[in-house]
Structure 1
Amino acid sequence: MNRSSCAIVYNGNLGSEKFLIQVRWLERTAREHGLHVQVIGNQELIPGIVDGSPVIKGRYEGQEPDFFLFWDKDIRLARHLEKMGFPLYNRASCIELCDDKIRTYEQLLNEGLRLPKTLIAPLIYETCEGIDERPYETIVQELGFPMVVKEAFGSFGEQVHLVRGWEELLPLVHRLKHRPHLFQELVKSSYGRDIRLQVVGDKVVAAMMRKSEHDFRANVTAGGRMAPYEPSEREREVAVTCARLLGADFAGVDLLFGEDGEPYVCEVNSNAHFKNIHDCTGVDVAARMLEHIMSKER
C-alpha cells in the first residue's frame, strides 16, 4: 500500500446491512481524509507463524498499511497484527476488555466509578451435565428479585435478561450454564432508560438518551426511542474515565441514571455503532474518529 494508507477490518461473515453501513461510512470518511483505503474481511487475513515470526497469508500477504481501523472482535487476528508491528484502532487489548462484560467491570474496579452490584456465575465445564444450584441461593439473597442476568458476550441488549423469580432464574441458568454470565441488581431509577455517550480521544463528542416504554432495556434495537442529551460534567467525566481505563481511542459508553444523580456504568463498546447517534444528534462520530486517528498518526 501507499503511504498514508489504512485497512478497515470488518467481520466478513456478517452480511447484514446494519453492519455494512458502518463499514462503508468509515471507508468514505477515511477517503475524505486523503487516505488510501482497503476494506478487508477478517477471513481474508490468515494469521500464520513462519520461522518463528508472525505473518499474514492470503491475498493481502506483504501489504503494509500505516494502520488498521479494526472494526471487528477477532481478538486473535488483532493481537497477531500488533505482533507484526501494525498500529490498531482500537487496540486488541481494548477490544478484548470491552467485548467481555465481566472483564470490563473488573478493569473499572477501584477507580471511584459507580458500578451496579454484580455477582459472577461459576465456571461450568461443557462436560458437566448437572448444576449445583446452591450458589444461586446466595445470589438471590444478595440481589433479590427482580435481577438482571447478562451474558458476558453479546450486543444490542439481546443477551440481557430480566428475571423476576426462581421460576425464571433456574431455567435460564441451566440454559446459560456453559456460557460466561453475571448477575446484577436492577437499577430501578433507570428502568427503561439510559445514556449513550460517544467518546473520542479524551472528549465526549455526542450523547443521546434512550428510552423504552415497554422494556427494561433502552436499546434502540429492543424498541427504545432516542433523543439528544446534554450530559452533566460528572457524566462526561465518568465516560472519559471508562474509555481511558479500557485503553480506548474511541468508545460508546452506556450509563444508567442513579437515584441521587451519580451515574452507574452499564457497559462500554469498543466499536459502537454510530448511525443512530448521528441520526439523533447530527454529529458524525466517524469523522471525529478519523480526525483523532490522523492526529495520533502525525
Structure 2
Amino acid sequence: MAELHGWLVYKQKDAEVNRGFIMMLTEAAAAINLSLQLIYEEDLSIGISGGLAAIQHPIYDSRNLDFVLMRTINQLLTKQFEAAGIRCFNSSSVASLCNDKAQSYQYVSRLGIEMLDSWFITSRTFNPEKIPFCRFPMVLKQSDGRGGKEVYLVHSTEEIEEILMQYPHKQFVLQQFAEQPGKDLRVFVLGGEIIGAVMRTSATSFKANYTLGGKVAPYVLFPEEAEIVHRISAPLKADFIGIDFLLNSSGQLVFNEIEDVVGCRSLYSTTDVDAAALYMGHIKKTLKKG
C-alpha cells in the first residue's frame, strides 16, 4: 500500500495532450511508493460545508489526500485544497505570482535584474501619450496568458487599441521589443535547484516557444547566469517552475516571465533529465519533512 496519496489535477483538454508526462509522473510516484491519481478539474465541486472547505469528486474521496500536484491554473481551486489542509505543489501564492506577468515584473523589479520596460494597461487605461517608451514595434501580451498564445507584435497605436477592445476585461502588458527576438532561454528550477536549461529559437517568429514550433537545444548556464536564476527563485520557495529570459544585444539575460505549470517537452527532448522522477522525489521529501 502506498505511503502517501495525491491527486494530479489537469483540465481534461490539457490532459489529452499531456498523456506522456502524466504517465511519467504516475510511474515515478509508484516507484517511490506514492499513489497519484489523475483528476480532471471539471469533475470537482468546491465550497463550504459545515463551516469547512469541502471538495467533492464523483468517485474519489478528498479526505484521504496528502497532497495535490496542480497542473492547471485555477487559483480558487488551489486555495480550496490549502483551506482543507492539503499541501499543493505549487502553492497558491507561487501560482498567483507566476501566472500574472504584471505581478512577476513587480516582484523581479525589486531584485536588481535586467528587464524590458513594460507598462500595465487595459482597454480603459491605455493612453499612448503617457507611455514614455512607445516606440514600435512593441509586444502586447495578456497578463494571465501562457505558452505564447496571447502575445502580439504590434506596430501602431491602432493595433493596440483593436486588441484591447477584443478583451475589455483583461489586463495586458505593453513591452519594448526584445533586442534578440525569436530567441529565449528557459531554466527549470525544482526545489530551488536548477535541473536543466534549454535555448529556444525561431527563424520565423519573434516567439520561440517549443510548442509553437521553436527549435530547442540544451544550454549550460554560466555561473553568473545561475546566480541570476537563484536570485529570482530563492525567495519564491517554489516547488517546480520555469524561468524564461530574453537576451540583450550583448547576449546577457533579460528576465521575461516565470511559468508555474511548466512544460517539460523541451527538457526531455534535449537532455537526459527525468523531471517527473525528480519532481515526485521532491514531493515525497517535502511531505516527509512536514
Q: What is the TM-score of this pair, normalised by structure 2?
A: 0.91
Whole-angstrom distance in 2 between the partners of 1:226 and 1:42: 31
Per-residue deviation, residues 18-50 of structure 1 (Å, max 9, x unmatched): x33322221122112221222111223321211
Tell me which residue corresponds to 2:4. 4
2:76 and 2:256 map into 1 onto residues whose CA distance is 26
Deviation at 1:261, TM superposition (A): 4.4
Residue in structure 1 matched with residue 155 of structure 2 by the alignment: 164
Where does residue 196 of structure 1 map in the other structure?
Answer: 186
1:238 pairs with one of 224, 228, 231: 228
3-state DSSP class of the match of 2:133? helix
Q: Which residue of 2 aligns with 1:136?
A: 128
Partner of 1:292: 282
Q: Please show how residues 1-298 of structure 1 align to structure 2 within 5 Å.
A: 3-14=3-14, 16-17=16-17, 19-58=18-57, 59-122=59-122, 124=124, 135-139=127-131, 141-188=132-179, 190-298=180-288
Which ranges in structure 1 are unaligned for 5 or more consecutive residues?
Answer: 125-131
| Matched residues, number | 287
Give a deviation string over 1:158-207, Cα, whole Å, max 9, x none.
1111112334333223223331101011121x211010110111211111
1:250: how far off? 1.1
Name the aligned partner's letter for residue 65 of structure 2.
P
Report if aligned partners of 1:100, 1:152 keep a CA contact under 8 Å in 2. Answer: yes
Q: Which residue of 2 aligns with 1:127?
A: none
The residue type paired with residue 84 of structure 1 is: A
For structure 1, which segment, 88-97 or 53-62, has the greater mean C-alpha deviation from structure 2 after superposition? 53-62
Deviates most, 102-111 or 57-66 = 57-66
**Aligned counterparts of 1:57 and 1:292: Cα–Cα separation in 2:** 27
Q: Per the alignment, in what secondary structure is the counterpart of residue 108 of structure 1?
A: helix
Matched letter for residue 49 of structure 2: V
Contact kept? 2:198, 2:266, Cα under 8 Å: no
Instruction: Confirm or deny: 8 A CA contact 1:196 1:208 kept in the other structure.
Output: yes
Q: The residue matched to 1:8 in structure 2 has which SS?
A: strand
Q: How big is the alpha-carbon RMSD for the aligned residues of Structure 1 and Structure 2?
A: 2.0
Is the 2:122–2:164 Cα contact (8 Å) retained in structure 1? Answer: no
**Paired residues of 2:140 and 2:154 also in contact (CA < 8 A):** yes
* Unmatched tracts of structure 2, length 5 or more: none
Q: After the TM superposition, which of the residue ranges 37-46 and 56-65 deviates more from structure 2? A: 56-65
| Contact 1:98–1:246 (Cα < 8 Å) also in 2 | no
Q: Aligned with 1:137: secondary structure? A: helix
Distance 1:155 1:122 in 2: 18
Shift of 1:77: 1.1
Q: Secondary structure at the match of 2:175?
A: strand
User: Relative to 1, partners in 2 of residues 1:23 and 1:15: Cα closer, same or farther, differing over 3 Å?
Assistant: closer
Out of 60-69 and 209-218, give the one that drifted further. 60-69
Paired with 1:218 and 1:9, the residues of 2 have a C-alpha distance of 27
Identity of aligned residues (%): 28
- Post-superposition, which runs of at least 4 consecutive aligned residues in structure 1 deviate over 6 A? none
